[in-house]
Amino acid sequence: MRISDATFVIYDLETCGLDPATDRIVEIAGKFMRFGAGGLEGIRFFQTLVDPGVPIPPQTMAIHHIRDEDVVNAPTWEDACADIEAALRNEGTVVWVAHNGSEFDDRFVYADEPFRSNARFLDTKRLAQHLLPDAPGYSNQTLRYYLGLSLDMMGTAPHRALADVIVTAALLDSLLQVYCETSGTMLLDDLLGFAASPILYTSWPLGKYRNQPLGNAPDDYVEWCLRSMSDLKPDLRYSLGELLRKRTRPETSKS
């Protein structure tokens, strides 16, 4: 299947907090898009507040400014999912797109319909980390200004779901164009596999060698990290394994 045959659903959430065991979703927004000769083209937006069924903490209100009284008559998360699922019914292959979704949104939504039945996902942060290795950072807004994206924010405020959707959609448009130009492929599975593939760290994000080149650490420290730090992020674990592999089996130059 080609990239142009899929429907990309760029979405974002606002929640009561960061713990899916106790916190709930208070807003979801998204945009249905297809990738054509002129780049990503929008089909339609969706946005709704969600009644979380629990009080919204004041410290969370201070971020997205969604109050308890705002969600009194909002649909439940189950009803919101049913509406989204109905909207997707005729869209064929769906790819859910979120920025840094693998570290946050998946804990809240990917076990639910309609996400489970359309289980193809693309994280624009990972795609940017692969395609833009020289970027100064990989937050949505940092990449927005790094790429010089000029956006119509439709009157939305920062830290609201629709505002983040607008930024992520523009970011995805830029990244897909870079990917198609540099990869030589337009196949959807190739794109998703590329985005999900391991990202090599070049410097230490933690520990005694923090901010130093990865190669500065001796083998015994690298081995200790792999053996003792069970919570290492998969990309860092992969990078450390590759570091040891290259040291034990160094590349030999061709004569």
67-89 mean pLDDT: 91
pLDDT in tens, 16-61: 988 777 888 999 999 999 998 888 888 889 999 999 999 999 999 9
What would the 3-class secondary structure string for 129-144 be? HHHCCCCCCCCHHHHH
Residues 246 and 169 in one domain: no
Tokens 């160094």 locate to 250
Domain boundary among 196, 215, 234: 196
Residues 159 and 232 grouped into a single domain: no
How far CA 173 is from CA of 73, 106, 124, 146, 227, in Å, comes to 35, 22, 10, 14, 40
Q: How many domains does the chain divide into? A: 2
d(CA 242, CA 47): 43
Residues 171 and 125 in one domain: yes
Q: How many CB atoms lie within 10 A of CB 182?
A: 9
Residue 252 burial by Cβ neighbours in a 10 Å radius (0-12, 13-18, 19+): exposed
Peptide bond into 114 cis (omega under 30): yes
Question: Which domain covers residue 30, as residue numbers?
Answer: 3-196
Q: Give how far the C-alpha of residue 92 lies from the chain's centroid of Cα atoms, to the nearest Å.
A: 22
pLDDT at 114 over 90: no
The verdict on 111 and 229 lying in the same domain is: no
Same domain, 92 and 203: no
Which residues are registered as beta bridge partners of 33? 8, 42
**pLDDT of 111 higher than 90:** no
Residues 191 and 109 in one domain: yes
Half-sphere exposure of 12 (CA within 13 A, CB side): 19
| Residue 121 and residue 207 share a domain | no
CATH number at residue 98: 3.30.420.10
> Same domain for 136 and 44?
yes
Let me know whether 220 and 143 are in one domain.
Answer: no
Backbone angles phi, psi at 19, to 5 degrees: -105, 110
User: Which pLDDT tens digit goes with each residue over 188-236?
Assistant: 999 999 999 999 999 999 999 999 999 999 999 999 999 999 999 999 9
Among 159, 176, 196, which residue terminates a domain? 196
Pick from 196, 222, 239: which residue ends a domain? 196
The pLDDT assigned to 255 comes to 44
Clarify whether residues 251 and 145 are in a common domain: no
Based on the fold, state whether residues 112 and 161 are members of the same structural domain: yes
Residue 164 to residue 98: CA distance in whole angstroms:
9
Asked if 101 and 19 sit in the same domain, the reply is yes
